Amino acid sequence: MAQVFVTGGSGFIGQVLVGRLLGAGHSVGVLVRSEASAAKISALGAKPVRGELTEPLTWRNDVVGSDVVFHLAAETDVTADRERHELVTVRGTQAAVDAARYARVPRFVHCGSEAALLAGAPLVDIDETAPLRPDSEAAYSATKAVAEKIVLDANAPGFATVSIRPRFVWGPDSFLVEGLAAAAKAGHFAWIEGGRHTTDVTFVDNAVEGLVLGWQRGRPGQAYFVTDRHRVTLREFLEIQFEIYGVDVAIPDMDAETAAGQVPVPARWFLGQECTLRTDKAVTELGYKPVVEHAAGLDAVRNSVAVGRV
């Protein structure tokens, strides 16, 4: 059994990852900065480690002895300013890499994103040879690109780094889908150009499967897309989940020109463009395949919401 350290372990993907690791018998330490996060991690059965992500001196000694570091911490608010994204996503990633190298951890797995490749054009059936876009006008995308470059450039003998890139992670308690549903209920959501473009999505357990396989089998210095391998039409996919979350209002359409003046750039790209990703590399090199099929994932969301309403 391994000793594992996780940043971002109290988040949506992080909690599922921590649960998966604990279920496999591993010892798990998780970086936390608040009492609420510490309580959440303790309840899962992992060890909370208090510290500031961007100040590795406050937590790097707790990483010593780990077999792998999973780095999930990042700024997820796409409307946050550039300075905030630089602080959390870029400086935070550099700090995590520095702490892992200080502790002589042999393996570092980063949770990346297809957003690191977004700079205005749709992503259509692309693979991992598509370039990162640190020049993107969207701070979220640019800093995710810089963070992944930090990780992959750090790869060296004795310090293997891998980046796993899920797309649109969904599932029970998804803050993203819950946020979109809340916006729809409040009349603050519209379908951009009808919302009928094709997209890949990744159920949270499938994202975690990719992260674990990245640790176990990932080729050092490489990035891998992982998805449900079940492409959807964005509108149909969200309409099903909006119904589950009780959205009962008519959602208007918005043309691209109007969206350009009202919707922040990263959200406009996320909701208004095709995004289809090839997972051949993960399938071939990692042995990746989804552990939760699309229909089962929707059932899990339905059950979770139903329990929450009891």
Which one from 102, 140, 224, 245 is the annotated catalytic residue?
140
Rounded Cα distance between 222 and 218, Å, is 7
Residue 309 has pLDDT above 80, yes or no: no
Backbone phi, then psi, for 225, in 5-degree steps? -80, 135
pLDDT in tens, 215-242: 999 999 999 999 999 999 999 999 999 9
CB 106 within 8 A of CB 158: yes
pLDDT in tens, 163-214: 999 999 999 999 999 999 999 999 999 999 999 999 999 999 999 999 999 9
pLDDT in tens, 91-107: 999 999 999 999 999 99
* pLDDT on residue 150: 98
Reply yes or no on whether 140 is catalytic.
yes
Share of the chain above pLDDT 90, in %: 97
* pLDDT on residue 86: 98
Residue 256 has pLDDT above 70, yes or no: yes
How many CB atoms sit inside 10 A of residue 255's CB?
A: 12
Rounded Cα distance between 157 and 95, Å, is 20
Rounded Cα distance between 236 and 214, Å, is 31
In which band, very low, low, confident or very high, does the pLDDT at 307 lie, cut at 50, 70 and 90? confident
Task: Just give the CATH number of 3-166+202-229+278-291.
Answer: 3.40.50.720
pLDDT in tens, 39-86: 999 999 999 999 999 999 999 999 999 999 999 999 999 999 999 999
Rounded Cα distance between 24 and 3, Å, is 11
pLDDT in tens, 15-39: 999 999 999 999 999 999 999 999 9
| Averaged pLDDT score across all residues of the chain | 97
Q: Find tokens 């980046």 and name the residue.
A: 163
* pLDDT on residue 205: 98
Residue 116 has pLDDT above 90, yes or no: yes
How wide is the angle at C-alpha 176 spanned by C-alphas 10 and 22, nearest 5°?
30
List the structure tokens of 205: 């357990």
Sequence spans of domains, the chain: 3-166+202-229+278-291
**DSSP labels for 196-237?**
--EE--EEHHHHHHHHHHHHHHPPTTEEEEE--S--EEHHHH
In which band, very low, low, confident or very high, does the pLDDT at 308 lie, cut at 50, 70 and 90? confident
Backbone phi, then psi, for 57, in 5-degree steps? -60, -25
Rounded Cα distance between 67 and 135, Å, is 34
pTM of structure: 0.97
Residue 278 has pLDDT above 80, yes or no: yes
